[in-house]
Amino acid sequence: MVQSTEERVRSAALTLFAERGYHGTGIRHLADAAGLSSASLYHYMGTKEELLVAIMRSSLDGLLEAADELSATGDPGERLVALVQLHVRTHATAPEQTRVVDDEVNALSAEARAEVVALRDRYEGRWQEVLEEGVARGDFQVGSVAVVRRALLEMCSGVARWWTPAGELDLDALAAEYAALALRLVGASERHADGR
Amino acid sequence: MVQSTEERVRSAALTLFAERGYHGTGIRHLADAAGLSSASLYHYMGTKEELLVAIMRSSLDGLLEAADELSATGDPGERLVALVQLHVRTHATAPEQTRVVDDEVNALSAEARAEVVALRDRYEGRWQEVLEEGVARGDFQVGSVAVVRRALLEMCSGVARWWTPAGELDLDALAAEYAALALRLVGASERHADGR
Amino acid sequence: MVQSTEERVRSAALTLFAERGYHGTGIRHLADAAGLSSASLYHYMGTKEELLVAIMRSSLDGLLEAADELSATGDPGERLVALVQLHVRTHATAPEQTRVVDDEVNALSAEARAEVVALRDRYEGRWQEVLEEGVARGDFQVGSVAVVRRALLEMCSGVARWWTPAGELDLDALAAEYAALALRLVGASERHADGR
Amino acid sequence: MVQSTEERVRSAALTLFAERGYHGTGIRHLADAAGLSSASLYHYMGTKEELLVAIMRSSLDGLLEAADELSATGDPGERLVALVQLHVRTHATAPEQTRVVDDEVNALSAEARAEVVALRDRYEGRWQEVLEEGVARGDFQVGSVAVVRRALLEMCSGVARWWTPAGELDLDALAAEYAALALRLVGASERHADGR
DNA sequence: AATGAATGAGTTTTCATTCAT
DNA sequence: AATGAATGAAAACTCATTCAT
């Protein structure tokens, strides 16, 4: 796979931000990892913060777009399963992106944070909608939709911190397992858990 | 409440590390927040990292001690509920400590990290034991104990990121809700969910 | 004489380390003397200690190389005279280098010190060899070779602390005088003292 | 031997200044070595520099007083031997004092340096006198009295850098050896070398 | 006599960034 | 496209010293 210099910078930043955090990563780290001088780096990026924002934006954009496709069809149970599987697969296969998004929001300045948080809120809104519809139709039984939404998302995001392809579960098994857990959490029968 | 200078330093560090991250918090930030000059700060602490370790250690020690008391009595369902409530209450009422423990482990040097991770692993071991026993007795039905343990812990830790006493649920309701969710996750009946 | 920035840094360090000692010379001193900001200094050097080591290494390397050439030919008396003249001329004309080498070894960290001391020991080994051979051949009469070696070296190194071209003796006279003193010290006749 | 606190401070300073240099020794080092807090230290000393000056002064005073006694009697050869033996014995048995005097003069401020250098010059003046008298009487044959004086002093001071009681020569042998070397240096017969 | 507390100024080194080439 | 050179500001931490108790 050929990679442009800009992509090399982006992916170096991704890895380093995920490993050491935004504040723990220096411009010279980035330059070294990208095989450039620190001055050259600035040909391919704006400020360090803009680089972070770009990473977060593209990660959230991708998730949001995929979520929009999924949310179009099916009953709430099917759509919840699809959302969970999307989320879990994404966090399992792109753990660096998702960890950066999840962990470095506080490193952003106010304006940048507002933008990123807005994206994240839109994405979480999809989950909220599915849950509300499931509850409204009597498919789900939950105490508080907002609480369950948060519990679900935290639970699923966690896979970015531990899953590896070399482990006990392969990607499909992981996704199926989490879909089943999600259905239990919302008090639905498990008939949807064989998704994807 | 009278507070010694040392306590002021500790609590300033706690707040700042939680808000801005370890690497995002400078010695001057700490000094300002503690009402000291940066030189005076060093009367009350060793290095910045030692301060972080001290915070993490005391947080994990407290959790571990409490978990050890709980793990002594009851059937797996009761003990799981107790663990969940302990964890959720702790994360709800001391979100700064728990967020620092959860988020800043990577900021530690190798030796310090080893110590903190060992404590964390002992604590998570308590969860693992309860889950294994519940599965062995047929009280719980789960696909993978390790996966469910992680899912549970991530889910419960998440409350440190959003719960406030001013919100929809008070502390007792929050704890009860999460206990119920946990029992669902492990495939147990909900008869234990009225704990504490 | 055109001088690169790196050379300016090196020579500023040389002068300051010789005048005020390594620990007595701050990075700001160096920067001021080199006409740079303290941040810019780090374009041209590694750490302050590496700068010191580089100075010491190049000084000792030069001396050692010259000593190796001299040690090849002649009887012990001639070779001793040559060594003394080399040493005295070097210490007279490059007093800063030699004083830094002589005075700042203790400022080095363990590893750096080991390297520098090894070089110095090799150089002093050349003196030891000449003295031993002179004693073996009956050309020199000394109580203890090791003591005389030290006495000789200290005596000769001293010129770096007082000789100036404006003084009583010019360089040739200085070298001749010390050669004569050295021959007296080792109990040789003075027939070699007209060297160089 | 009972030691007052002030003496403990003085001797801790002596050891540390000799080992690490004046600029390389911090007040807290001193306090630790003296078994006091850094604040308490200031009960027993003025500034750090005054402590250094006191050490230098007492060392030089002692040497000067002893030299004055010796210079009173005997012919130049005898007096030179006596001076050499005094100097060598002092440098061998009190290497810390003498090294501090020899190495840390540059660490002093202008006024303090003037005082210490004046003492040192008076002491070296005794050597100069003996040498001049020896030359005048035809007992010594030297090219330049000033050069020989410096060579002699450097040579003899060197013992503070290497002699240990556990080594090849005991103190008397060392003194005798250096007396012999000195007589050779000044071109005298060796009949005086059996002194003390 | 002794020391905790305190600090302004200092230490060495790194930061993110700019700019002329 | 690429980078050496450059820097003001900041990093974590230590300095020698004072002072109230």
Long-range contacts (CB closer than 8 Å, 24 or more residues apart) made by A7-15: A8/A34, A8/A35, A9/A34, A9/A36, A9/A41, A9/A44, A9/A45, A9/A51, A10/A51, A10/A54, A10/A55, A13/A45, A13/A51, A13/A52, A13/A55, A14/A55, A14/A96, A14/A97, A14/A100, A15/A96
Residue-wise pLDDT for A85-133, tens only, equals 999 999 999 999 999 999 999 999 999 999 999 999 999 999 999 999 9
Handedness of CA A19, A25, A29, A31 (dihedral sign): positive
Residue with CA nearest to E11's C1' atom: C26
Taking CB atoms and an 8 Å limit, are C177 and D103 in contact across chains?
Answer: no
Residues of B in CB contact (< 8 Å) with A are 19-21, 23-24, 103, 106-107, 143-144, 146-148, 150-155, 157-159, 161-162, 168-169, 174, 177-178, 180-181, 184-185, 187
Q: Closest nucleotide to residue A50 (Cα to C1')?
A: E16
Residue B169 reports pLDDT greater than 50: yes
Query: Residue A136: which residues within 8 A CB-CB, separation 6 or more?
Result: none
How is residue C89 written in tokens?
């001329």
d(CA C117, CA C102): 10
At residue C193, the pLDDT reads: 45
Residues of C in CB contact (< 8 Å) with D are 19-21, 23-24, 103, 106-107, 143-144, 146-148, 150-155, 157-159, 161-162, 168-169, 174, 177-178, 180-181, 184-185, 187
Domains of chain A: 1-45 (1.10.10.60), 48-185 (1.10.357.10)
Query: What is the overall mean pLDDT for chain A?
Result: 93
Rounded to 5°, the CA angle B65-B19-A92 comes to 75
Q: CA of B4 vs C1' of E17, distance in Å? A: 41
Question: Strand E: which positions are within 7 A of a protein CB?
Answer: 1-20
* DSSP three-state, residue A74: coil
Query: What is the overall mean pLDDT for chain B?
Result: 94
Tokens 């009583």 found at: C168
More confident residue, D49 or A191: D49
Closest-CA residue to C36 (of C75, C7, C78): C7
Specify whether the CB–CB gap between D194 and C172 falls below 8 A: no
d(CA C133, CA C73): 13
Specify whether the CB–CB gap between C29 and C16 falls below 8 A: yes
Name the residue of chain C whose CA is nearest to D146's CA. C168
Q: CA of C39 vs C1' of F6, distance in Å? A: 8
Task: Considering only the beta carbons, identify the residue of D22, D154, D161 that sits closest to C155.
Answer: D154
Per-block mean pLDDT, blocks of 10 residues, chain C (196 long): 87 96 96 96 96 97 95 90 98 97 95 96 97 96 96 98 96 97 89 46
d(CA C53, CA C112): 7
At residue C72, the pLDDT reads: 79
Residue B193 reports pLDDT greater than 50: no
Q: Is D93 exposed, middle or buried (0-12, 13-18, 19+ CB in 10 A)?
A: middle
- According to DSSP H, which parts of B74-109 are helical? 76-93, 95-103
Query: What is the overall mean pLDDT for chain C?
Result: 94
Residue B130 reports pLDDT greater than 70: yes
Residue A191 reports pLDDT greater than 90: no
d(CA D132, CA D126): 10
Q: Closest nucleotide to residue C37 (Cα to C1')?
A: F7
* DSSP three-state, residue B42: helix
Q: How far is A160 from chain B (nearest CA, A)?
A: 11
Q: What is the pLDDT along chain D (196 residues), one digit of tens a residue?
A: 678 889 999 999 999 999 999 999 999 999 999 999 999 999 999 999 999 999 999 999 999 999 999 877 889 999 999 999 999 999 999 999 999 999 999 999 999 999 999 999 999 999 999 999 999 999 999 999 999 999 999 999 999 999 999 999 999 999 999 999 999 999 996 554 444 3
How is residue C162 written in tokens?
């007082």
Specify whether the CB–CB gap between B87 and B80 falls below 8 A: no
More confident residue, B191 or C25: C25
Residue-wise pLDDT for B105-119, tens only, equals 999 999 999 999 999
Q: What share of chain B is helix, strand, coil (3-state, %, to 5)?
A: 75, 0, 25
d(CA B132, CA C139): 89
**Mean pLDDT across B74-81:** 95
- Is the pair D, C in contact (3+ CB pairs within 8 Å)? yes
Taking CB atoms and an 8 Å limit, are B168 and A146 in contact across chains?
Answer: yes
At residue C191, the pLDDT reads: 54
- Does strand E come within 7 Å of the CB of D4? no
Taking CB atoms and an 8 Å limit, are C151 and D168 in contact across chains?
Answer: no
Residue-wise pLDDT for C26-73, tens only, equals 999 999 999 999 999 999 999 999 999 999 999 999 999 999 998 778
Question: Strand F: which positions are within 7 A of a protein CB?
Answer: 1-20
Q: What share of chain C is helix, strand, coil (3-state, %, to 5)?
A: 75, 0, 25
Supply the angle between the helices A76-93 and A110-136 in degrees, to the nearest 10. Answer: 140
d(CA B36, CA B58): 24
Q: Closest nucleotide to residue D50 (Cα to C1')?
A: F16
**Mean pLDDT across B48-67:** 97
- Residue C94 half-sphere exposure toward CB, CA atoms < 13 A: 18
Closest-CA residue to B196 (of B95, B93, B86, B98): B86
Count residue pairs from A and B with Cβ separation < 8 A: 82
Closest-CA residue to A148 (of A173, A185, A178, A117): A185
What residues approach strand F to within 7 A at the CB?
A: A 5, 36-40, 42-43; B 25-29, 38-39, 42, 47-49; C 5, 36-40, 42-44; D 25-29, 38-39, 41-42, 47-49
How is residue B67 written in tokens?
């978990």
